[in-house]
Structure 1
Amino acid sequence: MKSSLAKTFQDIADEENSGDRIFKDRINKRVVTDEKGTALPPESVMVVLPYEEAFGHSEKTSTLLVNSKLREEYEKLNLGFEDARQRLLAALKHHTGSKKDLGREISSTFTQGEDQFYKALLRVQDELLKQKTAPLTTVRYDVIFDDNVLALLDNADFKASIENYIKQYNQLIGKSTYFRKGRFTYYNASEIAKNLADNGFFKAKHSINLNSGAKLEITTEKQLKELVEKEKEAISNDPDLRKKFAAVEKLITKNVNVRQFETYLTDNEDLLPHLANMPAFKEEVWKSYLFAFLDLYKDVIERYQAAEKRRGEIEQRLQKNGRSGRT
């Protein structure tokens, strides 16, 4: 079909006025009717362009021979949120130092598959937007979620040792002057101290009161940090807890494949209670990572949702014209 004639029919399908592409000021008249003299309805027209003209040889081009204008917009939608995705993953890669495929890691953490990245991000959207802190951003992902480590953590003896440790740990937390299980932990206290300092809370001459029968007024970041460390040491140095931790260490040292994990856990004993439920721990770690890059996360979500909405509109239009628009 001659290109100008094809363009005229495409204008009908697009419900646009036709015009001369070279002499744009010329007055044009378009009359296209069926055998009964009735103007052709847009949904009855489909123009199939030559492959080279419509698609070129780009790696991202669609395999469907459809309206090139709509197809170009369709592909730009994909590229738009794909670019945002790459920016988020690059930031996460740099932050974690992980050598893993983080897109797959995120997907498998929050969904049942490794190829549902956007579904995974949407799954935690409400939780992230309500989240106030990110206490696990410093967790070394590849050290904890190493295959050899995960196999060790799934060992029955190791699970029993962790449970013994956690039981003793929780008893000590219950007796703590200031810490409370699940409500005000060492991580919470440290995060609060950091946030208050970063926002100039103490410099503005504000103070906080801690209740332990009698009120204790905290007026400086240093005072709060020292109190938190002292309380932590009182728990960590408990003789029974040390025995429980030694039992855990003994099992770790038997496995030469997890020596890095052994060193890391020794320096980060506070993580040990989390290891009893690795799927839940993994979710919390990823929510902390994503919260640290919340603006990039929001950008991906917003672009993806906008693209999905517009893509649906494009596909409806193509279907209306008797085409299949899914690429």
Structure 2
Amino acid sequence: MNTLSVNLENCFGIGKLKHDFEFGAKKSNTFLIYAPNGTMKSSFAKTFDALSKNDSKNPPCDRVYRDKQSKYEVLVDGSPIPGESILVVNAEDSTFDASNKISAFIASKELKERYDTIYKDLEAQKTEFIKRLRTVSQSTDCEGELIGAFTERDGESFFDVLERVSLRLKDKVDKYSFRYNDVFDKKGNVIKFLDKNEKILDQYVNDYKSLLANSKFFKESDKNSFGTYQANELLKSIEDNSFFDAGHKFILDDGTEITNSESLRQVVQDEIAKIINDAKLKAAFEKIDKAIGANMELRAFQKVVERNNLLLVELKDYDAFREKVWISYLSEMKEHSEELAKYYESKKAELKNIIEEAKKEFVQWKKIVSTFNDRFYVPFKVLLTNQEDIILKQMTAKLEFEYSDSQEVAVRQKGEDLLKILSKGEQRAYFILQFLFEIESRRHSPNKSIIIFDDVADSFDYKNKFAIIEYIRELHNSDLFRIILLTHNFDFYRTIASRFALARPVVYMATKSNEKEIFLHIGAYRKDVFDHFLKNINKPKIFISSIAFVRNIVEYADSDHCSDYEILTSCLHLKENSYIIKVNDVYAIYVARFGKLVGKTIDFGDDNLIDFVFKTADSICDEQLVDEILLENKISLAIAIRLKAEGYLIKKLPDIDLEKITSKQTNELYQIYRDRFPESGSISVLDRVNLMTPENIHINAFMYEPLIDMSVFHLRDLYERVKLL
């Protein structure tokens, strides 16, 4: 990817933009674009993001005038750019999730093949086993339900559970005729019902236990009980009469002797019938049945318990009964269950070795996380909880975060919970982490990706801002990617240009015409603007623009009451002496304050300073192709606007003593004028003077951005309007 040709029309606010970006190791892997707010930054990023998604239903378009024909021709070395080769990084995008890309840079092909070979056979046997189990249980999800019933720790597989449960299987068990999900439903309606109606269920169980205690056959005590389950187990063990044929017999509490299995069965059935038909127990069941019937979603469950009331006793311990039911199902296919469990056991050692090796395959993962944890100043560390599953099962990464506030104990948090407690800047760092995963996954692609960074450092504190800058610099130096950095942060712009050592041809400043056409100019002001001013002080615009800067120096080095400061103030605000100050008077102050100017001359020293300011502003307005970037154009116009406005206000307020106004003279005059002439048609123009000019006149190192972002055309228009007052 050497040439990226962009030809856009009517794309999310971009009226027109045509430009070729020439990349390459001998040129640059990175282009930097400073775009003032509202120029093109977000529109450019949105256009590329739309192209990356290859979504024919939502292509780039004009966001207001949908009927306008849009063009979005983006070519790489003459061919249409593939959407998958584009990545737009926007730290405001909270929806971006690249967890599924982690396996792309940590998966080991050889280990995966070994793992798959073993699991292919295991999965085939499991599939057949599940078919049989589904027939027995009538469950809609045998695997998930079985794991849910018996799992003891996160990450247990079906085979882990089966291996453990197979030790509890029996040769003979009660068979349950109900459909599994009629009692253990997916939505959890039954357990919710049992919890909600615990009181009436307890009454039923207590009545049942009371009947057991008074039975001549069944018994209930504090420690043990002999109920219907135990009786049925007993019947199974003596159903062939061998117990009685050996001369044994049962003697009940009331003296009744039992000498054969049929007599015992009859006693048990009579006692069960006696319990079930008990009036009190029936009344308790009717309450439960009525409560179940009131819930439409429990109709299937109602039919089950109506067929067998005593299931309610078992359901008192829901989880234990669920396990019992599954053991019953598995016991029905005991031989198959034990066979599969043993086969899995025979493969466990080899699988364990593969998993241990897989855990060592995390060099790149550790590097990324180390990069993030070490560089970014955030109150959390990134953790990966399913390392081997990512490699061996190609599962999506499960990330957790260890949150620690100062000296407090670290607490594990999931991503969505973590975001609720992070600051805005910390959230942006979290989102950047997702993009790190995406970028790292692309390192292994045979094709280069174009990465559009959309103000990624905005809202970061300085520590994290430099962390992301350092990471992008590493990408820039790697030659694996092609990068376009978009920003409206002037400090970020200057830092990137300096740290990346970017040459002028790859550093741009964007401007937009009234027709919304975007132009990319060679980037300016990457170094000290004041040094540039001093070297070119003989140019009228720069001479005027330096007045405010030199006045700041005088104030810092001397005071705001010395004569030099007062003269320069009279150049920025109309005072009694403003109209008698010559350009040479101001230049003398420059020379006295800056040794670099000693011996240098200017060509316009005899001009009256105020007239010189207006003449220079007029010349800017007369330029057919005025430079939109130059600071000196904007500062000169701002000073001229201020002086013209004050001239108008002083004329309208002849009784005002200017000597009594010691600060913010323009605003003070404006407030008095507005109070006296509230209906004046000039107020709207004077409002704009107060809004647009202060920061452009009082220039210092922190005022670059508003100066550059301010449109020279707006200032030129305002100057022409003030002249008409």
How has the CA–CA distance of structure 1 residues 132 and 176 changed in structure 2, closer, same or farther, with 3 Å as cutoff?
Answer: farther
**1:91 and 2:132 matched:** yes
Tell me the equivalent position of 2:194.
Answer: 153
How has the CA–CA distance of structure 1 residues 275 and 120 changed in structure 2, closer, same or farther, with 3 Å as cutoff?
Answer: same
**1:212 and 2:252 matched:** yes
1:135 corresponds to which letter in structure 2?
D
- 1:269 is paired with a residue whose SS is coil
Which of 219, 225, 234 pairs up with 1:192? 234
Which of 296, 299, 320 pairs up with 1:256? 296
Tell me the equivalent position of 2:160.
Answer: 119
Structure with bigger helix share is 1
Which of 111, 115, 121 pairs up with 1:80? 121
Given that 1:207 and 1:217 are in contact with CA atoms closer than 8 Å, whether structure 2 keeps it comes out as: no
TM-score with structure 1 length normalisation? Answer: 0.66
1:1-327 aligned at under 5 Å gives the runs: 64-66=108-110, 74-98=115-139, 100-111=140-151, 116-126=157-167, 128-129=168-169, 131=170, 133-135=172-174, 137-146=176-185, 147=187, 148-155=189-196, 158-181=197-220, 182-197=224-239, 200-201=240-241, 205=245, 209-213=249-253, 214=255, 216-220=257-261, 222-312=262-352, 327=392
Q: Distance in 2 between matches of 1:75 and 1:312?
A: 13
Q: Distance in 1 between matches of 2:322 and 2:242?
A: 34
1:303 corresponds to which letter in structure 2?
Y
Given that 2:166 and 2:337 are in contact with CA atoms closer than 8 Å, whether structure 1 keeps it comes out as: no
Q: Distance in 2 between matches of 1:153 and 1:303?
A: 39
1:149-208 Cα shifts (integer Å, max 9, x gaps): 3332221xx2111100111110111111122345432133224324543xx445994575
2:315 corresponds to which letter in structure 1?
L
How has the CA–CA distance of structure 1 residues 143 and 207 changed in structure 2, closer, same or farther, with 3 Å as cutoff?
Answer: farther
- 2:287 is paired with a residue whose SS is helix
Higher relative contact order, chain-length normalized (CA < 8 Å, sep 6+) = 1
2:110 corresponds to which letter in structure 1?
V
Given that 2:129 and 2:336 are in contact with CA atoms closer than 8 Å, whether structure 1 keeps it comes out as: yes
Q: Distance in 2 between matches of 1:208 and 1:163?
A: 39
Task: Flag structure 2 segments of 5+ consecutive residues without an equivalent.
Answer: 1-106, 364-387, 393-725
Given that 1:88 and 1:296 are in contact with CA atoms closer than 8 Å, whether structure 2 keeps it comes out as: yes
2:341 corresponds to which letter in structure 1?
I
- 1:285 is paired with a residue whose SS is helix
Deviation at 1:267, TM superposition (A): 1.2
- 1:134 is paired with a residue whose SS is coil
Deviation at 1:104, TM superposition (A): 0.7
Q: Distance in 2 between matches of 1:318 and 1:115?
A: 17
Q: Distance in 1 between matches of 2:113 and 2:321?
A: 42
- 2:251 is paired with a residue whose SS is strand
Deviation at 1:275, TM superposition (A): 1.8
Q: Distance in 1 between matches of 2:117 and 2:292?
A: 51
Tell me the equivalent position of 2:524.
Answer: none
Q: Distance in 1 between matches of 2:350 and 2:313?
A: 46
Q: Distance in 1 between matches of 2:183 and 2:355?
A: 44
Q: Which has the larger radius of gyration?
A: 2
2:125 corresponds to which letter in structure 1?
A
How has the CA–CA distance of structure 1 residues 134 and 191 changed in structure 2, closer, same or farther, with 3 Å as cutoff?
Answer: same
Give the % identical residues. 24
Of 206-215 and 234-243, deviating more is: 206-215
Of 303-312 and 131-140, deviating more is: 131-140
1:231-271 Cα shifts (integer Å, max 9, x gaps): 10111122211111111112112122222222221111121
